[in-house]
Amino acid sequence: MHEKEFFYTDNIREAGIRAALGQELRDLPLQVLPVVDSTNIRLRKMAEDGAPDGMALIAGAQTAGKGRLGRTFYSPAGTGVYISLLLRQTGWDPELTGRITTMAAVAASEAVESVSGKKAGIKWVNDIYVEGKKVCGILAEGSGHREDGGLSYVILGAGFNVFSPEAGFPEELLQKAGAIFDTYEEQARENLAAGFLNRFLHYYRAKGHKKYVGKYQTRCFVTGKDIVVITPTEKRRAHVLAVDENCHLKVRYEDGREEMLSSGEISIRPVAEA
């Protein structure tokens, strides 16, 4: 079989993922499918039907992948791995969803480095970049069905661009999206999925959710850079001063005003515009 033919028919195997999970996760509830509409959408339905805490749904392709801010997430067959994880707790902290995404960003960047040997950095809040291109997006969605108005559960989604699509990325993604590997690597998607689950669940289950913060601060590459802060109503130029212990972004606007950003979207200004 030719390499290209194998490249696009290689399936993600549950057995391959389980073999790479840490011993404490060998009994993790796990389902692997070749294609779904969206792992987050599918897992939400499973959650409503009683799926347990820690349930992981992994797919090799999505037909309606979900991105941040209502965007779609490009998820072609044979090139990526798409993971959703169900997290149930009692007494959710209102800010826990935000901590989950930054925790996941550290886990994702570490998993990428472990399988590829390439340096992976975090663009605030939770996009993973390799060699200047985005290779992973993360989305956490809460469900507030409890009588007290609190969250019943959170679904954490992470989509990785492991290989480049055969025909390349769509034109609208060419300048931004990249792949972790330049050529096909056998079992890379399985090892990456397991590596992410191993690392994220280690941080998530540790006492205190902030043991990962120093790693996040080190990996976040926007500190010291000029950026544009994007809101639904405006775009404002700013300079990044620091990432604090809550993984919030401290910025100074052109008028001298400083602000701590806990969520949102930014873009890094080109040198010519800085």
- pLDDT of 77 reads 85
The string of pLDDT tens digits covering residues 76-106 is 888 999 999 999 976 666 666 668 999 999 9
**Cβ–Cβ under 8 Å, residues 200 and 232:** no
Phi-psi region of 213 (alpha: psi -120 to 50; beta: other; left: phi over 0): alpha
Q: How many CA atoms lie within 13 A of 143 on its CB side?
A: 18
Mean pLDDT of the chain: 88
Q: How many CA atoms lie within 13 A of 124 on its CB side?
A: 34
* Helices marked H in 86-164: 96-116
**DSSP one-letter string for 21-35:** S-GGGTT--EEEES-
**Cβ–Cβ under 8 Å, residues 118 and 179:** no
**Cβ–Cβ under 8 Å, residues 262 and 98:** yes
Q: Who wins on pLDDT, 113 or 1?
A: 113
Q: How far is CA 56 from the centre of its chain?
A: 14
Kindly tell me if the per-residue pLDDT of 262 is higher than 80.
Answer: yes
The string of pLDDT tens digits covering residues 105-120 is 999 999 999 999 999 9
- Which residue in 49, 140, 147 sits closest to 102, CA to CA? 140
Interval 265-273 mean pLDDT: 71
Kindly tell me if the per-residue pLDDT of 13 is higher than 50.
Answer: yes
Query: Sorting pLDDT into bands at 50, 70 and 90, what band is 2?
Result: very low
Query: Sorting pLDDT into bands at 50, 70 and 90, what band is 145?
Result: low
- pLDDT of 64 reads 76
- pLDDT of 99 reads 87
Phi-psi region of 147 (alpha: psi -120 to 50; beta: other; left: phi over 0): alpha
The string of pLDDT tens digits covering residues 189-241 is 999 999 999 999 999 988 556 789 999 999 999 999 999 999 989 999 999 99
Q: Who wins on pLDDT, 10 or 86?
A: 86
For residue 202, what is the enclosing H or E element? helix 188-205
Interval 247-270 mean pLDDT: 93
Query: Sorting pLDDT into bands at 50, 70 and 90, what band is 7?
Result: very low
The string of pLDDT tens digits covering residues 161-194 is 999 988 888 888 878 999 999 999 999 999 999 9
- pLDDT of 89 reads 78
- pLDDT of 206 reads 83
254 exposure class (CB count in 10 Å sphere: 0-12, 13-18, 19+): exposed
- Which residue in 25, 75, 80 sits closest to 55, CA to CA? 25
CA atoms of 185 and 196, how far apart (whole Å)? 17
Phi-psi region of 264 (alpha: psi -120 to 50; beta: other; left: phi over 0): left
Residues written for the chain: 274
- pLDDT of 210 reads 74
4-8, 11-15, 42-46, 165-169: segment of lowest average pLDDT:
4-8
Kindly tell me if the per-residue pLDDT of 138 is higher than 80.
Answer: yes
